[in-house]
A and B are shown apart, each in its own frame.
Chain A
């Protein structure tokens, strides 16, 4: 295509000027890539930190309602019934069924409740999780967080956090009384002390064997909830309705319990989009001004072309193609440089081994930025192209 040859020749006629223009575009692309990789990296880190130690979906019994019939056979009101204990009775069947579902990593039946740990005159409120010992670490890596003792959840053993242990002056092997919300109590032994780094967990949570929890919470058969871990936490919102309809239970995805995180990520993404928009606008302005200057510099050439009878479309396309080439080259150079910058930043580590910035080099939106930059440069070239094509040949030649 001759238009491409002419555009390329124009672009390469002044290598330094073209190189500077492409470098300017590339710089904008680097900023775009950096921001995208940083925001995506931050979202990944925050999501991983959040989902790394919680259930991705929680199945709970539906809120029981007591329907009241009117004389038109319609339900007039549905007051919540408090007269029956909310529990999942057929949990063994549900656990087997859910564990067989694709995307599900593990299902942990739990008896959750509140109580107090009493040691002498010291009393501390505690959130109890009664679980099967082999499923201790399927939701949060508690076994890996043990700092004292063992991850021992045999009958009569209790695992508590460091903060709680400190508050009560408890050590491994020491006895403590657990008094539950059902006003039942039992003498247990601290089998291990964990430290997750999450203050609320280390201060309030205690793990107990599921069997030990049954009499304490007066649940001989059922469990309070099923905690489910997924291969991809992002699937929780789509899987939850399917699980709800399959089990008849109320399914709560982790996102529902962490709306603040979602809101923060959305706000962060909006800020990022604004910066990306500025980068694109600066690229468009740079390309448009450089091509407008080129149009002005080549007025007599354009005039002579038009006097030959060369169409306005041909002239316009020469400038649009220049914009496209600048955008594409700038996009490619910028994307590569941006990737290199992200890799370098990712390689710089803090003392604990984490990167100094929560950047995700493979999440720089490279294809998007190249496509956007090319599109922006083409759009930016339209104005100079129009100006070039509308030059009066006679006026241009006479100058």
Chain B
């Protein structure tokens, strides 16, 4: 039974695109690329959108098959398991990053201090409960909260757009195109949002307009993020590099009367739900990719393995968010992330083509034999 409707898949894609991009990524991008950082974002999102189209083409041609099955049919079981192992590592890293980002958010914006050990233990337990749920549960939850989050983000953007200085966007390419391309490469890990589609394959009720719906949600998310980065830069100017919690800092920047309560906090907390859902999604994807590697008899241990690694690493090694970001935005990790993000859809597309050719050969052989 298919677990996700097209709408649910589209909403999860929307959350995937916006989740991590409104936290510390803006400060990093603008630091690396200068005021032209928004151009980096535009190009990276467009590039990612191209990968989305490849994923959708693959899914349209194989609506009932999961991605390991597609790879297995074309390249064999061993190759499929190797790819799943790489995907597992990729999503584990994403889970590490988002767990740290959520903690960073709560300690910077909400609480004066929060105990790291208790946070890890409670988060691991919560994730354990959540990732054992089927995909259907995420889809339904996403459907329920989508409009709250969408309206919240747009309320923040609309309110803060009145204090923008649009001239901050000029000149275009202030330091040339090299910093922009370089930043695009270095920040690759912050993108690749459509890789979660790997685990939607074979799980979506594929209809005639499924692709269209997903594309509409993706374009909405892209538009929201580009708008966010522009508003962010135009409000803070060059001091944007100092804002490590973009969405919270942006809403609190307004020089409003001190007698007015800060209603933007409602919007900020609503947006936080995106981070939580995305954390669950990444951990779920890591668990599912591990399931493909392990034999069926012991697949039940995959949630434990995923969370043991997450919790264990964080409890044993005390990593600051700066060190983690330095690692993730380094050239080796960024290039590896880019390879995974680009190669995976291409491999799947090649697998579909190979499979189609095999089928055509079989059909023509069968036709010849019959005649």
Please indicate whether A and B come from the same complex rather than being unrelated chains. no
